[in-house]
Structures are given as structure tokens and as C-alpha cells.
Structure 1
Amino acid sequence: MHEILVAFLAIAGYVSGEVFLKENFDSSNWEDTWIYSKHPGKELGKFVLSAGSFFNDEKADQGIQTSQDARFYAVSRKFDGFSNEDKPLVIQFSVKHEQNIDCGGGYVKLFDCSLDQTDMHGESPYEIMFGPDICGPGTKKVHVIFSYKGKNHLINKDIRCKDDVYTHFYTLIVKPDNTYEVLIDNEKVESGNLEDDWDFLAPKKIKDPNAKKPEDWDDKATIPDPDDKKPEDWDKPEHIPDPDATKPEDWDDEMDGEWEPPMVDNPEFKGEWQPKQLDNPNYKGAWEHPEIDNPEYTPDDKLYLRKEVCTLGFDLWQVKSGTIFDNVLITDDVELASKAAAGVKETQAGEKKVKEAQDEEQRKKDEEEAKKSSDKDDEDDDDEEDDKDDSKSETEQSEHDEL
């Protein structure tokens, strides 16, 4: 699919290959280009440069990691502003929820050049928000949100994100034909048309406000059989006195009142009688409200267009810290992004190998600690028995001396 798109763009006269932002956090000076927000009223957390506690390649896998629990995180980087008019827009980055996140964001936001980076916060207007969001078992989704005419629009589809502890690449491709793709680990998980999958525009069709169902329209598929009559012996009580019940011998009518047997379900009860149903000869089917063109609908072939993209920010909340962000890429080159994410499987395999070794080592330590604890408990029990025996011997000796 990507090759077809690149070939099409080449035929159309567009040559891709421009990189607007690339950040692999391979330098300790990353904070020289990334600006922390100082927005008041929020407990803001700090990012630290780290590859985490398990990795495939410590240097290559180094990213910025959330370091404090129950904190807002707000940091951004500005770059030369650009427009994606008549070309693809590719947003890609990697996320590693090493802490096995229970509730927190893992997404990025793209802003225009008007953003005050030192005051970035949750209400700051943005162009696109993209990436995973997890909170409990009910929320494990990939957000794809576009701003359109001053309003944020969420995708109408549910895209499930990854929820394990390994590195995953998230890629959003927005194309100039108003289509899009979402990829996870270089594999397409969703795609479609911007107009169809977001509520940017008013619907093309609406129900005709002047149309009404005809009064003689019969939409009942069946009718009661007029010749069906209820049997004379149909009506039976739902409950009857228990025929096997007997008055207790110690029952006193004067003290306890008149004895009545308990009620039980009547096996002859048939419920409410309903006549048989017949096909309705006048049935016309379900009436469908006719539709007309919506006068408020206006097509827009520029839904994809971001007139100015200038800043990328991480603006999120995490209950439990430990997420590592890396491999940030904004480009118009679909193939370049694909190549940048091509090593993700190798990265995951390396991470799993190291983590499994760590888990095995921890398991052995836990077993040793449990054994030591058990042995100490046994020694304490033996000491208590010895103390009891010594006490018993002293008592017996004392009794013997008294005799």
C-alpha cells in the first residue's frame, strides 16, 4: 500500500522526503530544545533520559521517561513551521509502558506556531492529537483527534492500543486525498476516509421534515386470529393452597389465629390467554422516513489540511510513571517512516529476552528469601519447644525437691 502511494505521488509530480522533526533522544542535551510548561495549578512531573530497566540496545533505546507517579507531564519542542498541503503528513513515535501502566496517556499533540510552550496545558488548542491512552480495563485505545473549525473531533472507530511493557511504534498517515492510516509496529490497524470516520461535516442526507407516515399505513406484520376463542377451562389461579400441608400439632387457633396452608404454584396455571397470530393481509412493511439532501452540508476536500504545524508536545497525565517516549518523527515521507520503525520486532525480542532473564533471577531470589524465612520460622519453633522442655524440666525438678 505504501509503495503504491509513493508511486502515485511520484507520477503526480510530488517528490517526498522532507523531515520536519526527528528526535531520538540520543543526547544528554535534549532539554536544550525541549521546553517544560510552567502552567500554574498543576503538579508537573519531570522526564529523565533512560532506556529503562530492560532493553535491546541501551544507547539506541534511550528515550525520555516519566519519573514521578501521579503527575501531569508537559514538555514540547518547536521546529520550522510547515503545511501539509498536497502532501502526506506522517506522525510517528515509540511508546514503552515499562511500568505496566494502569492509567495514563501516551499520546502526542501537534500545535501551530502560536503555542506558548511555557504555558502548554490540557486546554491549549492543538491541530492533531494521536497515540495510546490507557485507564483500567475499559480504556485501551488509540486517540486520533483533529481540530476542525475550532472544535476537536474524535474518530468514530475504536482502535485498540498495545497494553504490554514493550516498545511499540505508533504511526498516523494523513493523505491529501482525505484518507488516513493508523499503524502499530508498522502494521496497519485502521484506515478510511476522513469525512466518513469523523463528524467534521453535517450529514449529507437528513430525514425529510415534511414527510409523515400515512395514517392508513399498517406496519403490523401479524394480527390476532378473530376466530380464536379462549377455552372455557383456561382461567386457573396462579397459586393454590398446598394440598400436602397439614396444620402443626402445636398450632393454637386462639393464640396463632386461623391456620391457613401455604400457597404453592398451580401446575394447571396457563398464564394470560392470547389469541393465535395470523399474517396481516394489510401489512405494508416498516415505514422508512424518506431523506433529502441536507442544505447545511458543505463538502470540503481539504479536511486533511493543516495550514501550519510548528510544535510537538507531550501533554498528559500518568498515575504510575515509567513510560519511555522515543523515535519521534514528523515527515511527508511514508517510506522513510516505515524504515524507521522496521526494527521494532528486533527491539521487542531483545527486551523480552532481558526481561525474562530478570524475572527468572527475581523468581529465584524470592524463592531463596521464602526458604530463609521458612527456615527461620522452623528455628523459632524449635527454640520455643526447647524453652517449653526446659521450663517443664525445671518445674518437675522443683516438685521433686519439695517432696
Structure 2
Amino acid sequence: GYLALSGGNVATERAFVMVAVMFGAVLLNRRAITLRAVAVAAWIVLLRRPESLLSPGFQMSFAATAALVAVFAALRNKEVPMGPRWLQPVVALVISSAVAGAATAPIAAAHFNTVPHYGLLANLLSVPVMGSVVIPAAVLALCLVPLGLEMIGLTIMRWGLDWILAVAQAVSEFEGALSHVPAPGAWVLPLFAAGMLFAVIWQGRLRLAGLLPAASALLMWGAAERPVVLIADSGGLVGVMAPEGRALSRAKGQGFIAKIWLENDGDPAGQIAAAARWREETDALPVWQGPGFRLVHAPGKRKLAQASTCKKGDIVVSTVTAQTPENCLLLTPAVMRQTGSIAVTTTGGLQTSRSVSGQRLWTGWQPEGAEISRLRRIIGQESPQ
């Protein structure tokens, strides 16, 4: 019933399958909570929705569950003492919060570019209230609905939720509560996950070998470099790397794109602050001098007219199409329908949305024309023919 009411997201589906497997194991007099139950749940979820493998919900849910099952199984097998009976629930809560937080932190950082530092404290103050106040009050409210007295349960439930929200607000305001990290490379998260899965699933001391690829993934993450130049496929925003961080060509407009770029840089600055980093302008147009070329952002017809005096090798990015001098290369939405968004890497390579997503039946990329070939030559990726 709860699975149906919740809308059937990945985490709830995983919990439903694991509970079903657990009850089946109890009926068969087998151990109820094992990594096999986690594996069965993963298979069923992926068979129904294979695309969920790449979602943060699937990855975080199964990472936390697998880590919790593995750690508590190890504690049970080694008969690690957890203190007197009255203290064991508290110790179990601390261990479970710490393990789940550690297991999901790299995944959350990879997807959301943030690392919370006081999650364990927040969990210790809020999880017991959720289990002992909010959930029982919700059940009580449901039972009292036929009598018209559901407000009794809902009021108690509100008290618990107010406490949880107050804890979240207070912890988020701690100094240094959050760190921002840049987006990792494409192979970092798969390599980290493979190493940790080996460490969890394999038996014996050889499992420690799984820590090597996991550590290598973290080192690769730390060495990741962000593109020197980013150009939105709409032509409405350009971002270049400055000493202070990403400098944006506009303080307003294209807010969603600006937010994603800054988040992936691990940069907590807002769009206005990032736009203030842009130092060079010519005729009130944002200009960036690259190695062997000059980039000019001229959104709109009026600003594009100001860029009509561009020089040989200049790249002009605009939201509209107009006649430009032969020396200039004009990048407009019509041109970038051939490539999507464009990035120039630290090594001078050209990376496009098309090169990342590939050619698919549904992508609808237009054939690359002379403009893109010229762009590659200008930035030095190809030698002039």
C-alpha cells in the first residue's frame, strides 16, 4: 500500500523488494538481510527501469543499503560488542548514519557538487524523531480519519516535522557546513563503484584490493580540469576560466545554464558575482583573448552590429544571425545545431555536446558545416588545409 501511495520511486521500490525477499527468507528459515537481497532488489529494479542505473536515487539508495548490510554483517560475524543492551540502539544509529553517509557522499558530490560536513549530526538529531514521532503520528492520523479526529495525529506529526526542519536549518547555517567540488570525469564514479563493490562482495583479505581502484578514482577526481571556455548552444552565454573562477559574459539571463556551469566547476558564486569576474571589454562587449584567437560575445542585433569590426581569427558568439566580415567566425544557434554546446579544453581541444552524446536516431544533429571545421582550425585542433 505504501509503495502505491509513494508513487513507486526507486528507493521505495528497492525497499519493497528487499522486504519481500526478507519475508520469503524468514518463511524458508534463511538469513533475512544479506547482500543477496540487495542484489535481487537491484536486478528487479533494473529489469523494470534500466535507465535508473544512472540516476542519483538508484546509486545512493543501493550504495547505502549495500554498505549497511556489509558493515553490520561484519560486526555480527566478528561478534563486535556494541555496549550494554540499553545503549545498543544508540550505537546502531550512530554506525548506520556514519556508514550510509560515507557510502553516499561520493555519489552525492559527483551529482550535486557539494559535500555536507555535518550530515551525521543532523541524522542523529532527526532520524529518531522521524521513527518514533512522525511515522507513528501519521499512522494514528490515518486510523482517526473515520472519526474525524485526524488532526490529533497530524498535529503530533507536525511537531516532529518542525523539529526535523529546525535541525536541518540550524545545521546548514554552521560555518563550513558545505564544501563545493568540481564535477568528476566520466570514469571516476564507475571506477570508484567497481572498487567498492569488490571490497564489499569479495570474501577474505583480497577484498582490500578493491580500495586501490576506489582510491585511484578519487585521485583522478582531484586532478580533473574544467574547460577553459564554455559556449551555450543558445549563443546567450559564454563562460571563460579566470584566476578567481568561471567568468560569465552576462549577469542576467540564461540563469539555468549559468547555475549548472558554476556548480560543475565547484564554484559557490552566483551569476552576478561570476559576471563581475569578466575583465576585458571592447565597445561594451565581453571579450576574451585566447591562445591565437579572440572570443567576443555579442547577443542581440544591436550588440552584433558593434562586433562588425572584428579581426581575423575572431570568434563572435551571438543569439542572432547577420552578415559578418569574412575574417570573423559567427557562432549562432543555427550553427550550433550542428554541435550543441561547445567547450574548449585546457589542452586546446574542442568538445561538443554532439561528441559526448553521440549520433542517435533521436538527436537530430545537423551535418557539420564549414563553420565548425573553421572553428576547429581557429582554436588549433586542426591544421589548415
TM-score by length of 1: 0.19
Q: Which has the higher helix share?
A: 2
**RCO higher in 1 or 2 (8 Å CA, sep ≥ 6)?**
1
TM-score by length of 2: 0.20
Q: Which has the higher strand share?
A: 1
